Chains A and B, each alone.
Chain A
């Protein structure tokens, strides 16, 4: 088992005809993901990789192929439009890889999605992978994952790969790894991810990878304190050495006040009973010891 994506996921790729879309579609197919359709406005009618039909509209793609989840490689200026089109077509899982979506676009998108019971992952995220189900709906490297029983949720891309690599090297497999995204406003937060992992009988524990900025880690801590998540939780928060007031790459990674500090987040999660990983170098080691 896993959360969000599995072997029954029928994936639609939006922006499939762009360079990013084509490259990662090839990678996802190589991993074994079941990609049933692509969509790019104005590019419908062709077939890519000898098996993936491309449509102009998401609605048509869903009607013709039975796609039940979508991954977006759409340029930032059109990302909000693409997410809303997908939600309108009735899909309940949307994964937005696109980086640089304007924050006010996301305010509107999230408002609409709240009414529709849609799960949005991202934007500005590496996607979701369930190694035991051979489903990769994302851009993560192909060969670092190991099927297993640990969930991973992270605001970062490459730091997630680092964490997964350390877990795999330590012989600890993963049920599902979710990159929730590096922006201030994202669809699925840590709380939603923890709730899903709590319900998954084949996830035994979760590694949460936070970073400076915002209050997502504090929300996770409150959720754990309220017994919403009761499995073992391991936490690392990146950016302990980041200066205040400077954006550290990610739009959401900026220290604007006390709550945004790595130390505040670590304190909140520690108080909630999480095991604090002393630093990014010790993820594999700490989880291995903690699971003993």
Chain B
């Protein structure tokens, strides 16, 4: 689960990292008030769940409270499009207004879980301010890493080593190591999967400040962080994805026109690939889950139907725990009268298969049964869409 920049920075400050002075604004007038209080040049930053905001006009440097108000007015209530959002963009409901700093240098500091070493790893670079993937690609020698021993945790010497290897004077290494340790403590305490400060800046008066901050919390650990779970901003999600997530259905909206309803994540991806192999594009990823009861399947079907681009549906359920009659009942129940002609290719396998097929046949829906993915490809290609 992503956190907004302002939420991330509040946690950073709680753990002893320096963040710029500033405040959150939901209206242009509030932005002006924050800027008046800060008394000096400010930065107005759109709060969305995506990076690359500068390129999309979501970060503005302003010199007066009036300019802050104008900049906020231009962002609030719009949808910000950045290289990471897709063409539809993300809604801006808040801006963060912060003091502008005199920057000497920009560093990168990140903490994540590394699959290779199965450990927490602290990553630092003196090439801050740019996307770390780009740095890793163009200048891999600038990416420094320290693997954390799970027993003793991140050590101060590792922080000093990173600081010195980044080219910082020894006089600053201790304070930077302290900031790294603070971020590590936050990472562990809040079950982060990513904690990234990019850039971490050194000001001209030698302060180390988190100019930006991005925290992602491990979804699987949210059960022990109810306070953080409550921070989720559903407005930043596609409305259908939000509805699915609330119902515990894994759904991702895609660009194609073949809706698909599948049990299991791997099979759902495989079904998307099969749709592509048939010459079409999937409209969604959808994993209805293992023990799919009719209500859940009905909800999943309804979510697929809410997507106006869906012209055909492929159902692929490999029943083990899931029962085919439950699946059939859920789908039939969810399709309204006016959508009954929607062509569907249905592949069911497993418990109560014949009962499931009988329910479909009795429903009058436009269903074609297939026995394999190969047959599904042929059936999709043979469909004529009314």
Residues of chain A having any CB pair with chain B under 8 Å: 23, 76-77, 100-108, 110-111, 139-141, 154-162, 165-166, 169, 182, 184-185, 209, 211-212, 214-216, 219, 236, 238-243, 245-253, 257, 278-282, 285
Contact = CB atoms under 8 A, between A and B. Distances in A.
Contacts of B276: 240-241
B84 A241 contact: no
A246 B318 contact: no
A53 to B, nearest CB: 26
A160 B266 contact: yes
Contacts of B133: 257
A238 B271 CA distance: 9
A239 B274 CA distance: 10
A242 B275 CA distance: 12
B307 to A, nearest CB: 15
Contacts of B318: 141, 158, 161-162, 165
Interface stretch (B99-107, B166-174, B200-208, B218-226): B218-226
Nearest to B149: A111
A76 B150 contact: no
A25 to B, nearest CB: 14
A107 B265 contact: no
A158 B285 contact: no
Contacts of B277: 278-279, 281
A246 B254 CA distance: 11
A154 B270 CA distance: 13
A250 B266 contact: yes
B156 interface: no
Given A214-B115, A250-B265, 9 more contacts: A104-B113, A107-B118, A155-B266, A161-B318, A215-B116, A241-B269, A245-B84, A249-B268, A280-B273
B11 to A, nearest CB: 16
27 contacts: A23-B321, A100-B220, A103-B221, A104-B218, A104-B221, A105-B221, A106-B118, A111-B150, A139-B320, A157-B266, A157-B267, A158-B263, A158-B267, A159-B266, A162-B270, A182-B265, A185-B113, A238-B270, A239-B273, A240-B273, A241-B254, A241-B281, A248-B250, A248-B265, A249-B268, A251-B220, A280-B270
B191 interface: yes
- Chain A CB within 10 Å, residue with most, of B133, B151, B191, B318: B318
A253 B273 CA distance: 15
Interface string B310-328: 0000000011110000000
B220 A211 contact: no
Contacts of A102: 191, 218, 220-221, 224
A108 to B, nearest CB: 5
Given A111-B150, A211-B269, A240-B276, A161 B320 contact: yes
A56 B133 CA distance: 49
B90 interface: no
Contacts of A154: 266
A182 B266 contact: yes
Contacts of B269: 159, 211-212, 238-239, 241-242, 248-249, 253
Contact of A216 (B115, B220, B320): B115
B349 A165 contact: yes
Contacts of A281: 274, 277, 372-374, 376-377
A111 B147 CA distance: 13
Contacts of B377: 281
Nearest to B85: A245
Contacts of A100: 220
Given A102-B220, A184-B113, A281-B274, A248 B268 contact: yes
Given A107-B150, A251-B219, A280-B273, A243 B267 contact: no
Interface in B250-290: 250, 252, 254, 262-277, 281-282, 285, 287, 290
B48 to A, nearest CB: 14
Contact of A241 (B150, B191, B275, B349): B275
B273 A248 contact: no
A30 to B, nearest CB: 13
Contacts of B372: 166, 169, 281
Nearest to A250: B265
A250 B287 CA distance: 10
Nearest to B133: A257
B89 interface: no
Nearest to B255: A243
A108 B266 contact: no
Contacts of A107: 113, 118-120, 150
B282 to A, nearest CB: 6
B188 interface: yes
9 tightest Cβ-Cβ pairs between the two chains A and B:
A156-B266, A249-B265, A158-B264, A159-B266, A280-B270, A281-B373, A102-B221, A158-B267, A141-B320
Contacts of A139: 320-321
B150 A243 contact: no
A159 B113 contact: no
A141 B350 contact: yes
A280 B373 contact: yes
A111 to B, nearest CB: 4
A81 to B, nearest CB: 13
A255 B218 CA distance: 16
Nearest to B86: A243
B198 interface: no
Given A162-B267, A249-B285, A250-B266, A185 B115 contact: yes
